[in-house]
C-alpha cells in the first residue's frame, strides 16, 4: 500500500472519531435538556476542549498530507472534504456546548406544554439522526444516504419557521412562560443550525465521492 493511502486511511479514522465525539456531545446535551441534568450539561461543556483539540489535529494532518504528497483526483477531493467537514463538526460541537450552557443557567425544567407546542423534542431527535446519517454515509461511502439528509433538514427548517408564531400564540394565554419561551426559541435556532451544518457535510461527502458540487444547486441531482 502506498504511503499516501496509509495516511488517508488514518485521516479517515480521525475524522470518524471526531464525528463520534461530536455526536456524543449533541446526544448528551439532548439528555441534559430532557432530564434537566445540569451535571451532564457541565460534562458537555468540559469536553468541548476535546472537540477543539481534535479539529486542530485533523487540520494539521491534512496540511501535512498536502505538503508531502501533493494529492490529486479523488485523494485531493477527500482531503478538501475532510477539511470542510472537520470545520462543520466543530461548529456542531459549539452548538452542543451552547445548549448545555442554557441548561446550566436555566432555573427550572421546561414545561411539557411548551415542549409539545414547539415540537422541539422531535426536532432534536432529527438533528441527532442527521449527524448519525452523515457519519454512516462517510464511513460506507454512501451518497444515497448522504442525500437523504437534505430532506430531514426541511423538517428542521419547518419547525424553526413556525417557532416564533407558535410561541407568540402560546404566550398570549401563558405570559408566565415568557422566560422559558425565549430559552426554547434560542435552542430551536441552534438546532436549525445543526441541520445546516449536517447538510453541508452531506454535500462534501457527495463532492468527495462523485466530484459533484451541490452548493447552491438542486441537492437531488
Whole-angstrom distance, CA of residue 63 vs CA of residue 55 = 12
Query: Is residue 96 situated within a structural domain?
Result: yes
Give the span between the Cα atoms of 71 and 4, in whole angstroms.
8
- Render each residue's pLDDT in the chain as its tens digit; 221 residues: 689 999 999 999 999 999 999 999 999 999 999 999 999 999 999 999 999 999 999 999 999 999 999 999 999 999 999 999 999 999 999 999 999 999 999 989 999 999 999 999 999 999 999 999 999 999 999 999 999 999 999 999 999 999 999 999 999 999 999 999 999 999 999 999 999 999 999 999 999 999 998 775 655 55
* Residue 220 falls inside a structural domain: no
Angle between helices 38-69 and 73-105 (to 10 degrees): 160
Cβ 113 vs Cβ 181: under 8 Å: no
- The domain spanning residue 34 has which CATH number? 1.20.58.220
Domains in the chain, number: 1
pLDDT at 47: 97
- Sign of the dihedral defined by the CA atoms of residues 68, 70, 72, 78, in that order: positive
Considering just the CA atoms, what is the radius of gyration of the chain in Å? 19
pLDDT of 217 = 61
Spatial distance between the Cα atoms of 59 and 167, rounded to a whole number of angstroms = 41
The pLDDT of residue 77: 97
Query: Quick one: which of 161, 4, 170, 26 has its CA closest to 100?
Result: 26
Give pTM, 2 decimals.
Answer: 0.94
119 domain residue, yes or no: yes
Question: CA 40 to CA 6: how far, in whole Å?
Answer: 37
Range of the domain at 38: 3-210
**Beta strand segments in the chain, E:** none
Distance CA 197, CA 154 (A): 13
Amino acid at each position: 500500500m502506498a504511503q499516501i493511502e496509509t495516511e488517508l486511511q488514518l485521516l479517515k479514522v480521525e475524522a470518524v472519531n471526531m464525528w463520534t465525539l461530536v455526536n456524543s456531545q449533541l446526544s448528551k446535551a439532548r439528555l441534559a435538556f430532557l432530564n434537566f441534568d445540569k451535571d451532564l450539561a457541565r460534562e458537555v461543556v468540559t469536553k468541548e476542549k476535546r472537540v477543539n483539540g481534535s479539529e486542530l489535529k485533523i487540520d494539521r494532518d491534512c496540511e501535512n498530507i498536502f505538503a508531502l504528497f501533493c494529492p490529486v483526483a479523488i485523494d485531493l477531493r477527500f482531503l478538501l472534504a475532510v477539511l470542510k467537514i472537520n470545520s462543520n463538526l466543530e461548529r456542531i460541537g459549539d452548538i452542543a456546548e451552547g445548549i448545555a450552557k442554557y441548561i446550566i443557567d436555566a432555573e427550572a425544567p421546561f414545561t411539557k406544554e411548551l415542549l409539545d407546542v414547539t415540537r422541539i423534542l422531535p426536532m432534536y431527535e432529527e438533528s441527532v439522526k442527521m449527524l448519525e446519517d452523515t457519519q454512516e454515509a462517510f464511513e460506507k461511502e454512501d451518497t444515497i444516504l448522504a442525500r437523504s439528509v437534505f430532506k430531514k433538514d426541511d423538517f428542521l427548517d419547518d419547525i424553526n419557521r413556525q417557532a416564533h408564531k407558535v410561541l407568540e400564540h402560546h404566550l398570549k394565554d401563558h405570559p408566565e412562560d415568557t422566560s422559558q419561551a425565549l430559552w426554547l426559541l434560542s435552542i430551536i435556532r441552534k438546532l436549525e443550525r445543526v441541520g445546516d451544518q449536517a447538510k453541508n457535510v452531506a454535500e462534501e461527502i457527495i463532492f468527495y465521492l462523485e466530484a459533484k458540487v451541490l452548493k447552491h444547486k438542486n441537492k437531488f441531482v
